[in-house]
């Protein structure tokens, strides 16, 4: 498989197919990341497109200090956060009805409800902790890559990540069930 830098050089030399290949390579990952930020499919689709447009237009300025993937995630994170700020929404808005303590959570628990609760628990985390957990657990970024995306130190990433996972455990236990062994 051609590496990202070679594709970037081919695109800058005028080969449009190279840009399409770059988009195809990362579009699903970025969409999933942005969906986890917004919890809205249409917004995530729109933000994915915006992220790639920004990336392609700024490709001439890509210096290669970090990997292209890390750089893309940086743009996606900023695009997503700006969008949430503009739409005056919290990144962690919670569907309280799904997380409420009405009724016994074990009563009639189905798989979808379980997933919804985990999703909500994730959205209850503060922004930095949630970003660290999502980037590490879902997107498979290393601590170093996550630090570059978030613009902080590796130590800070580890702290955000560990605190986030600890709180998730607590929320899940509060909901009446422990994580499945």
Partner 1 sequence: MLLDHEQVRTLLPDYLNGSLGHEARTSMAEHLAACEECSAELAVLEELAGVNVPDPGDLFWAALPKRIVAQVERPVPWWKGLLAAIMRPAPLAAVAALLLAVMLVPFATHYVGPPDRKEGGILSLEQIDLPKQQVQEIARTVATSDQEVSALLDTDENSTSEYQQVIASLSADELDELVQELQKTGNSGGDA
- Tell me the CB-side half-sphere exposure of residue 67, using CA atoms within 13 A: 13
- What distance in Å separates the CA atoms of residue 71 and residue 175, rounded to the nearest whole number? 37
**Token pair for 55:** 């990336």
Residue-wise DSSP of 120-131: HHHHTS-HHHHH
- Tell me the CB-side half-sphere exposure of residue 2, using CA atoms within 13 A: 14
Among 66, 143, 152, 163, binds partner 1 (CB under 8 A): 143
The minimum distance between CB 15 and partner 1, in angstroms, equals 10
Rounding to the nearest 10 degrees, give the CA dihedral for residues 169, 175, 177, 181.
Answer: -30
- Asked whether 19 and 58 are in contact (CB, 8 A), the reply is no
Residue 130 contacts partner 1 per CB under 8 A = no
Among 87, 98, 144, 162, binds partner 1 (CB under 8 A): 162
- What distance in Å separates the CA atoms of residue 156 and residue 138, rounded to the nearest whole number? 19
Among 41, 87, 93, 126, binds partner 1 (CB under 8 A): 41
- What distance in Å separates the CA atoms of residue 151 and residue 123, rounded to the nearest whole number? 21
Which C-beta is closer to partner 1: that of 13 or that of 101? 13
Residue 83 contacts partner 1 per CB under 8 A = no
Among 122, 125, 147, 149, binds partner 1 (CB under 8 A): 122
Among 4, 7, 8, 36, binds partner 1 (CB under 8 A): 36
Residue 60 contacts partner 1 per CB under 8 A = yes
The site for partner 1, by CB under 8 A, has a size of 46
Residue 94 contacts partner 1 per CB under 8 A = no
What DSSP character marks residue 109? Answer: -
Residue 136 contacts partner 1 per CB under 8 A = yes
Q: Which residues bind partner 1 (CB under 8 A)?
A: 12, 14, 16, 19-21, 23-24, 27-28, 31-32, 35-36, 41, 45, 48-49, 52-53, 56-57, 59-60, 115, 118-119, 122, 133, 136-138, 140, 142-143, 158, 161-162, 165, 168-169, 172, 178-181
């Amino acid at each position: 498989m051609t590496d990202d830098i070679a594709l970037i050089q081919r695109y800058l030399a005028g080969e449009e197919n190279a840009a399409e290949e770059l988009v195809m390579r990362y579009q699903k990952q970025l969409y999933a990341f942005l969906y986890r930020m917004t919890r809205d499919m249409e917004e995530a689709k729109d933000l994915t497109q915006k992220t790639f447009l920004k990336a392609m237009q700024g490709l001439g300025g890509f210096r290669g200090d970090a990997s292209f993937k890390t750089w893309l995630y940086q743009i996606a994170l900023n695009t997503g956060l700006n969008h949430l700020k503009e739409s005056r929404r919290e990144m962690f808005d919670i569907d309280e009805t799904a997380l409420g303590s009405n009724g016994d959570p074990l009563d009639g628990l189905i798989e979808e409800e379980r997933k919804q609760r985990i999703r909500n628990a994730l959205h209850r985390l503060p922004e930095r902790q949630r970003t660290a957990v999502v980037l590490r657990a879902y997107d498979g970024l290393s601590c170093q890559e996550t630090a570059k995306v978030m613009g902080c130190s590796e130590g800070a990433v580890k702290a955000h990540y560990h605190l986030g996972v600890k709180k998730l455990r607590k929320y899940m236990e509060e909901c009446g069930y422990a994580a499945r062994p």
